[in-house]
Structure 1
Amino acid sequence: MPRVADHDARHGQITDAVQRLIVRHGLAAVTVARTAAEAGMSVGLVQHYFTAKDEMLLATFTRVNGRFTARVDELVNRGEAEGRTIAEMLRQALAELVPLDDARRAEFLVRLAFADRAAHNARLAAVQRETLVGIRSRVAQAIDNGTACGEVAQGIDAADQALQIVAFTEGLALHAHIDPDGTPKPAILAALDGRLGRVFTGTCRHTQPG
């Protein structure tokens, strides 16, 4: 167990260093040598875990996605315990994709760097596609759940709406990154509410009093 824990800790130490380099200097600054210096370890130790830049980027992207998924799961669990509507929980989950604070901005920059690299790397592109499909699938499931409880009208195409909602959210994220002053948090959340309000038009039977 200690060896596994040490391996995971080293792995996380390296990917966190990659993320910091991307945030401060961009993807071009990420090299094995610079990552080693940023992580406070030897080049040889970094190469023990990762032999190439793409491997470090993939691991960092995977770590960012893991953090996002964990936060969303926590939001859903807390929302269900508090009796929140599906629309409210989905709005909170989607907002985690938007760079509204330093932590989410750092993660957004990693996703942006990964997208740039994936444009010319089939392996990374496959992971990027799988990740996107997974996010759309979770949104579609939320819409299906909304249909089952009455928040969403019958006959709504969940997959089609999920595609539109995720694309809309990614557009907001890009605007928030490029022009943060012009897209403040209240405006972002209001935009998400407006888009979701076009799908979640009803009231959940499970949250109605009595």
Structure 2
Amino acid sequence: MLRVLVVDDQDLFRGGFAMILDAQPDMTVVGEAADGAEAVRLATGLEPDVVLMDVRMPGVDGVTATREICARTAAKVVVLTMFDLDEHVYAALAAGASGFLLKDIRRDQLVDAVRLVAAGDALLAPSVTRRLVADLARRGHAVPALAARLAELTERERDTLRHLARGRSNAEIAGALFVSEHTVKTHVSNLLGKLGLRDRAQAVVFAYESGLVIAGRS
């Protein structure tokens, strides 16, 4: 049973998300919070698997709360916002968020998002992914310190990271590399550990910022 904490300062959104998720046979909403400080306190005490986190809240905002929760717990955070703004994308990912979705998503997409992130997948709204890659393309250069860390990976781990950065699933990566999905999962786990990355979302950003993958090239 997936344990979910819902965080939003607006009662309508918070109650609606909680009702949708609590109705799922494989989920239970263990708590609700109206601000970031309460979210950190509840996440630390209730140990949820996934936290749905609003960005703009009074007092402690969602990005700050995400950073604290990711530092103190094993919970995966999905950031939800009305605003498709670059600074929120980067701030949330840098804070450790595993997913970033807009609040206009459908009910089924919300449920799928929680399951995917709980299973270890990164999840970004298509519009967010396009903006993220476009901005990395505008930067036009790799970060030397990150590029040097690629030497820690085996050739197969680098290949796996390239495919991850292009948004491919484990099944698609397995097909491309002619290996089993289990082997792909092993490669992903190994490369995350070697690079000190929390999850696949951070791996995507690392792949572009290290220069392993160049935006706009196949």
Give me the TM-score of the superposition, normalised by structure 2.
0.29
Give me the TM-score of the superposition, normalised by structure 1.
0.30
Which structure: larger Rg? Answer: 1
